[in-house]
Structure 1
Amino acid sequence: MTDRTARTSIRPAARLFVPLMLSSALVLAGCSGQSAPEETATQTGPTAAPSGSPAEGTSPAASQEGDPSESASAEPERPDFPASNTTGLVPLETVEEGNITPKSVVSNDHGLMITNNMMYSHNVTLYDVHTRTPVVELSDTVDADEFELEGLSGKVSGSPVEAVWTQDGGYAYVSQYLVDGHGATAEDNCTNGQAITPSMVYRYNAEQEDWDQVIRVGRVPKYVALTPDESQLLVSNWCDKSLSVVDTESAEESKRIPLNSMPRGIVVLPDNRTAYVTAMYADEVYRVDLETGESEVALRTGNRPRHLTLSADGETMYLVVTGADQLLKIDPDTAEVLDSTATGDEPRTMDISEDGTALYVVNYFENTVSKFDAETLEELDRQPAGYHPIGVTHDALTGEVWVANYGGTLSVYDDTDGAGSDAAANQD
């Protein structure tokens, strides 16, 4: 353990602090008929965004028993759950334990869940998926000199937005919205342009329970994705209108690909070369050649295409169009829209079940989570969530769905018709 970050290691029975609540500015952003910014805070804390602002953000593997950050010698056994498009969402628990204001939540499918808590809490919190209790709280402050960050020195802080895990569950790459206290104010309008300091992606090491890499990328990085072979990390730079391509072996940016206004969601096809990226405020989806660095508009959409998800076989792509309250099913080879359906009010993020039969979509202004059949796009279920649900993930070990609520909680649902609880009990 180093002293470069403020890290708290927490045993399952321990409790953290009462979660921070967002300022009245964020509450006001959720008023009916208003489009809430992705982030409503500047470097000095939560404030209301200006009117008309963009809406809108052998490696160690966790064992199934004991401390989930311990190394595992083999893949955890995946329970045999019913097909996800045949089950219903059953509310289990509202998790409030931890100093959280979660922008996103992502399972590593090896026993750990990461929440990314942005500038309202300036940390990430790791949870044991079986006990649903926090095991690590890690500050977003790092030592710029130790990580040899050009142009920065001393202690610097980020603002965690999104995460992607490596397939073995050992590492998570976490985008940092800003470099706190450096350069001009970073916010979703990108008003300060080139005066905003280019930000970073941190890598979390599950075995060390600490950050072990800091990678410089563009201005206001949002979404992060790995190529299937994990040789490249892709980062959408919101205020640079670009995509950073990072070589994961060297932990350095290898190229930066121009896109259009406010890029966000990313998927990468099985060829490890073709990516799709949303440009939210251009109402476009780009096809990107990661080898040549060329990009082209593959699809024009309704208002504010935000999040992309790919089926495990890479043969079907899904897109939520936030401002149009739409879910699209797309052929990734041709970018042809195969089907579409209505969602709840302001869909933000989605995930696909482990078996590929169901999609989970959070409806930000409606405070609900929906479940759709991945083949037919029929809405199978819709359940209440917490205040401003903005992130969602399906956990393969428990069959549970976790929803990140910006108001400071996590909503957890069983999606196995009770089989998840039985499987978990058999593993203990």
Structure 2
Amino acid sequence: MKLEKTIAGGISPKSVVHSGQGLFFAQNMMYSHTITVYNREHKLVKKIPDNVDLAKFGYLKYKGNYRGAPVEASFSHDGKYAWVSNYQMYGRGFSNPGNDRCSPSPRLDQSFLYRINTKTLQIEKVIQVGSVPKFVATTPDNRLVLVSNWCSWDLSLVDTNKNKEFKRIKLGAYPRGIVVDANSQKAYVAIMGSSDIAQVDLKNYSVKWLRNIGRAPRHLNIDPAGKFIYATLNNEGKIAKIALPQGKVVGKVYSGSAPRSMIISDDGQVLYVVNYNESSVSKIRTSDMKVLQKVRVAPNPIGITYDPQKREVWVACYSGQIMVFQD
């Protein structure tokens, strides 16, 4: 991995996600109240403010303008839409947003998911979900968007045709990362307040469990063949390789202190992992779970994405930079 470009300028990226079509969305939380969009030449295409008129989208009890706090994004698999979660909303009626240590309560505010059109780069739909929504995943058939609600301890299921949440599935303390299998039949959700991963059937909405994966599973990737899931274990500093369908851990490797997000290469051969507390990125070979390289980055790397066309790894550093590496 070799540093190609460092992007800065009024950003505080919690995540960066590639659309698959050459756009990169950085979610800048409440510190910047923006989503910044970049192209493959690392140029800023647009800065999308997170303010919305909720009443205009049918939420009539909320009068006036509101601001969000963009956390994570997922793209429809045709690249037409970006779905962006907001940690909380700002404005009248939102006075109890929840925080990083919380439990379900009717007093906590429900937050919103934005749908952004990737042609116009406008927010064109908003969908109410749970309290402190974090990770977002779109099913490969584009039928559902799944949102893990940190403080509601549940999973929101959003119908993409109706642009409406139609179901919540209780999962327990601190649901986080989500992956969906290629057939759009099963979703896997990391439950960070445990050592387990939930397996959600997307036809009948039943839940099974992959138990004792490791301490505080945070982020998940699934390999292109659907044979393995990889999980960052925040409290162990390790990455777990889990065989499917058995749910058995078949390998672990130490990545660094507080591994947060990761991305798998398009061929499934390499994982790139950000290690938040030591400001580094690990490159890990999946076949034998060996760390091939570790590079230093700006403080607090927290998000990561991959562009297979240019073989570039984009790293979002909470300290205010996006670093682009060639590999």
TM-score of the superposed pair, with normalisation by structure 2: 0.96
Separation in structure 2 between the aligned mates of residue 108 and residue 346 of structure 1, nearest angstrom: 26
Answer yes or no: is 1:388 the counterpart of 2:300.
yes
CA-CA distance at 1:277 after TM superposition: 0.5
Q: Residue 347 of structure 1 aligns with which residue? A: 259
In structure 2, what is the equivalent of residue 50 of structure 1? none
Deviation at 1:151, TM superposition (A): 3.6
Task: Say if 1:291 and 1:183 are closer, same or farther in 2 by CA, change over 3 A.
Answer: farther
Match of 1:125 among 36, 49, 55: 36
Cα distance in 2, alignment partners of residues 313 and 229 from structure 1: 17
Deviation at 1:349, TM superposition (A): 0.3
Question: Aligned partners of 1:291, 1:223: CA distance in 2, in Å?
Answer: 21
- Structure-to-structure mapping, 1:106-125, within 5 angstroms: 106-125=17-36
Give the distance between the partners of 2:107 and 2:122, measured in 1 at CA.
30
Q: CA deviation at 1:283?
A: 2.5
The one-letter amino acid paired with 2:16 is V
**Residues 233-244 of structure 1 aligned to structure 2 (within 5 Å):** 233-244=145-156
Give the number of the structure with larger relative contact order, counting CA–CA contacts within 8 Å between residues 6 or more apart: 1
Counterpart CA distance in 1 for 2:104 and 2:218 is 23
Matched, 1:154 2:64: yes
Could you tell which deviates more after superposition, 192-201 or 308-317?
192-201
Q: Are the aligned partners of 1:183 and 1:195 in contact in 2 as well (CA < 8 Å)?
A: no
SS at match of 2:31: helix
Cα deviations by residue, 1:167-208 (Å, 9 ceiling, x for unpaired) = 222211001111223131421112683212111110111111
**Pair 1:325 & 2:237 matched:** yes
Contact 2:214 2:240 in 1 (8 A): no
CA contact (8 A) 2:37 2:47 kept: yes
| Aligned equivalents of 1:155, 1:192: Cα separation in 2 | 27
User: SS where residue 120 of structure 1 aligns?
Assistant: helix
Residues 234 and 150 (structure 1 numbering): CA distance in 2 closer, same or farther, change over 3 Å?
farther
| Partner of residue 262 from structure 1, selected from 174, 177, 201 | 174
Cα distance between partner residues in 1 of 2:71 and 2:110: 15
Name the counterpart of 2:289: 377
SS of the aligned residue for 1:281 comes to coil
Distance 1:299 1:111 in 2: 37
Map of 1:174-323 to 2, 5 A cutoff? 174-181=84-91, 182-190=94-102, 193-323=105-235
* Match 2:16 to one of 94, 105, 111: 105
Structure 2 distance, partners of 1:277, 1:150, is 33
State the alpha-carbon separation in 2 of the partners of residues 96 and 109 from structure 1: 22
Q: CA deviation at 1:282?
A: 2.3
Unmatched tracts of structure 1, length 5 or more: 1-88, 416-428
**Distance of 2:260 and 2:196 partners within structure 1:** 16
Q: What is the CA deviation profile of residues 211-255 of structure 1, one whole-angstrom value per residue up to 9, with x for unaligned ones?
A: 111011111100000111010110001101100111111111121
SS of aligned partner of 1:146: helix
Question: Which residue identity lines up with residue 287 of structure 1 in the other structure?
Answer: Q
SS in 2 for 1:194: coil
TM-score normalised by length of structure 1: 0.74
Q: Give the conservation status (yes or no) of the 8 Å contact 1:109–1:397.
A: no
Decide which structure has greater strand share.
Answer: 2
Question: Which secondary structure state, in structure 2, belongs to the residue aligned with residue 145 of structure 1?
Answer: helix
State whether residues 262 and 281 of structure 1, in contact with CA within 8 Å, keep that contact through their aligned partners in structure 2. Answer: yes
Q: Tell me the secondary structure at the aligned position of residue 119 of structure 1.
A: helix
Query: C-alpha root-mean-square deviation of aligned residues, in Å?
Result: 1.3
- 1:387 match: secondary structure: coil
Cα distance change, pair 336–252 in 1 and its aligned pair in 2 (3 A): same
Measure, in 2, the Cα distance between the counterparts of 1:329 and 1:163: 24
| Residue of structure 1 in register with 2:49 after alignment | 139
Distance 1:244 1:290 in 2: 12
Assess if the C-alpha contact under 8 Å between 1:105 and 1:114 holds in 2: yes
Which residue among 342, 358, 371 is the counterpart of 2:270? 358
1:397 aligns with 2:309: yes
Alpha-carbon contact 1:258-1:295 (below 8 Å) kept: no
Shift of residue 304 of structure 1? Answer: 1.1
Q: Percent identity?
A: 39
Which consecutive residues of structure 2, in runs of 5 or more, have no partner in the other structure?
Answer: none
Query: Which string of whole-angstrom CA distances, capped at 9 and with x for unpartnered residues, describes residues 52-89 of structure 1?
Result: xxxxxxxxxxxxxxxxxxxxxxxxxxxxxxxxxxxxx0
Structure 1 residue 301, shift from structure 2 partner: 3.2
Deviation at 1:271, TM superposition (A): 2.7
Q: Deviations over 1:352-377 (max 9, x none)?
A: 11222110000001100010112111
**Match for residue 171 of structure 1?**
81
Amino acid at match of 1:237: N
Q: Which has the larger radius of gyration?
A: 1
Give the letter aligned to residue 269 of structure 2. T
> How far does residue 313 in structure 1 lie from its aligned partner after superposition?
2.1
Q: 1:414 to 1:296 in 2, by over 3 A?
A: same
Q: Which secondary structure state, in structure 2, belongs to the residue aligned with residue 282 of structure 1?
A: coil
